[in-house]
Amino acid sequence: MARMINLNLPNNEQHRITVVRDNEGNNVLYLDFSNELAGILFTLFSAVRRADNSSGTHQKYLSLDAKLLETPLKIADLETQWRATGVKFNFTIATPIVNMLTAFKCMFDEVRTGVTTFQYKKASQAGKKRTHAGQILRKKEDRSNITEYGLNNQHIPLLKGITLPPERRSGLIRSVGPLAHAIFLVNETKFTNKIAKSFSETIQIIPAKGEIVNALEACKNGAEASSILTELGDLLLLSTARSTQKIDFPLTLAMWLFSAKGDNPWNFSGPGTMYLLDQGIKNLSLKFKIRSQEDVTRNIAQVIFHAMYGTYTEDFGILSQITTEAEWKKRKDVDKVFKERSKAEYRRVTPVRFIYYSKLAQSLLTKSLGNTDPCFTRLPSFSANRTRLFTTEFKTYLATGKVGAQAGRGFNISYYLRSLRDELVQKMEVGKLEECGTRKWMKEKEGKLVEVDDRFMENCRCFFGK
């Protein structure tokens, strides 16, 4: 489908869908083009998928216009072209794949904006027309802040994916952070069973997970959920949550990697895929081209890495030891990467490479339970072994919790979560929460990845830190 869309470009512009060899012998991928193509692909796929049912909702997609580079496109025309190919999707398989292949721009935007404010939909009156069910309501989009849900900047690592556009949330629900899950459960009116099931799996280490899910579903707004979310967030910062991290490859990069992998396995979370990309960077001189005002291309490379691997929640001490970047920059230091990109010149960027490899975090990483303010907390992105550190600021924050003064639903559940949290605080004070990870790191040796016994230590620095 992506290649079909690309054929609508003039012949001299179609090359950007794959690696382009420049005058200096580098193999270049254009990331801005990839993002444009991915957005059109998602819209077209949504139109085709929704036309497969009888709801008629595909019409809103067919009415949309798009532009790829400078070429205007109509989604309705692209849908007609696709139908003419005769290709049929198995939507059960295709839908999650398309969601993952088109998510990079969403994650890049989240690295830019942070996760303290986000978009949601709320009911609003639609006029005087009535039915037997009463006043007709529709949804309008609004913005909210995490403080309205009893959360603060210490909870940032648990909010990955909260800024996803509403239409992307159900498709990427298993890749978002646990508190993003929880807020979606409070706010969303569609796919609530899917969200509840995924959230329950995320917090399955907590014995009362069912009661927590039911209580959040019953909340009508953030204020009602605040006492539960505060205590749940603090608890998960100590214990880590069950996590399902995925690599969000830019679309054209994923297409290139898939064609280059041969008969080797492919997935969106394994070290083999990371190693394959690193070999392309090292042996084929793979570069990215992206518009940016930032002339320090290492800063751009780090932002791209964070968007791909979700490491804007990760500890910099880990990243500096497992990658080729010795010094990682905070969000406040890379602002030029995002400024007026549409007017900026193209920058050629050498991607960040791994030195040590690990499967991305896919499960609970500890055994502890059977943006105005600085963020002192981090969340592991990788499943391999590490030693955790907790800052004095974080310990002070835990010691001055405010749950007793908070209003909201679920007081008994909040009290229960506070008691669990206090047990973990006691363990933290005597060093029992330091060991984290479920597997060994891997390193290249004679062209293969082999396990090593290294255990890396955090340094309490992070992307959204002060």
- Asked if pLDDT for residue 135 goes beyond 50, the answer is no
- Asked if pLDDT for residue 364 goes beyond 90, the answer is no
Structure tokens at 116: 């303290």
Q: Give the per-residue pLDDT at 138.
A: 41
Question: Considering the chain, what percentage of its residues have pLDDT values greater than 70?
Answer: 83
Query: What mean pLDDT do residues 353-369 have?
Result: 71
Of the ranges 207-211, 241-245, 416-420, which is most confident?
Answer: 207-211
In the structure, what pLDDT confidence band is assigned to residue 385 with cuts at 50, 70 and 90?
Answer: confident
In the structure, what pLDDT confidence band is assigned to residue 162 with cuts at 50, 70 and 90?
Answer: very high
Question: Which of 348, 345, 344, 341 lies closest to 286 in space, CA to CA?
Answer: 348
* Domain spans in the chain, listed from the N-terminal domain onward: 2-102, 107-239
Q: Give the per-residue pLDDT at 426.
A: 80
Starting at the edge strand that comes first in sequence, how are the strands of the sheet with 346-349 ordered? Answer: 20-21, 27-30, 286-291, 346-349
Question: Considering the chain, what percentage of its residues have pLDDT values greater than 90?
Answer: 51
Query: What mean pLDDT do residues 99-110 have?
Result: 95
Query: What mean pLDDT do residues 315-326 have?
Result: 95
In the structure, what pLDDT confidence band is assigned to residue 407 with cuts at 50, 70 and 90?
Answer: very low
Helix extents (H) in 261-365: 271-283, 297-309, 316-322
In the structure, what pLDDT confidence band is assigned to residue 406 with cuts at 50, 70 and 90?
Answer: very low
Return phi, psi of residue 58, to 5°.
Answer: -70, -20
Structure tokens at 69: 């580079």
Q: Which residues pair with 448 in a beta bridge?
A: 445
Q: Give the per-residue pLDDT at 373.
A: 44
Residue owning tokens 């409070």: 186
CB 409 within 8 A of CB 218: yes
Residue count (the chain): 466
Residue owning tokens 């010691």: 399
In the structure, what pLDDT confidence band is assigned to residue 338 with cuts at 50, 70 and 90?
Answer: very high
- Asked if pLDDT for residue 374 goes beyond 60, the answer is no
Q: Give the per-residue pLDDT at 124.
A: 42
Q: What are the tens digits of pLDDT across the range 31-78?
A: 999 999 999 999 999 999 988 776 677 888 899 999 999 999 999 999
Query: Residue 55: CB partners within 8 Å, gap ≥ 6?
Result: none
Q: What are the tens digits of pLDDT across the range 246-301?
A: 899 999 999 988 887 766 666 777 788 888 889 889 888 999 999 999 999 999 99
- Among the residue ranges 22-26, 230-234, 353-357, 435-439, the one predicted with the least confidence is 435-439
- Among the residue ranges 88-92, 198-202, 326-330, 396-400, the one predicted with the least confidence is 396-400
CB atoms within 10 A of CB 450: 10
Q: Give the per-residue pLDDT at 131.
A: 34
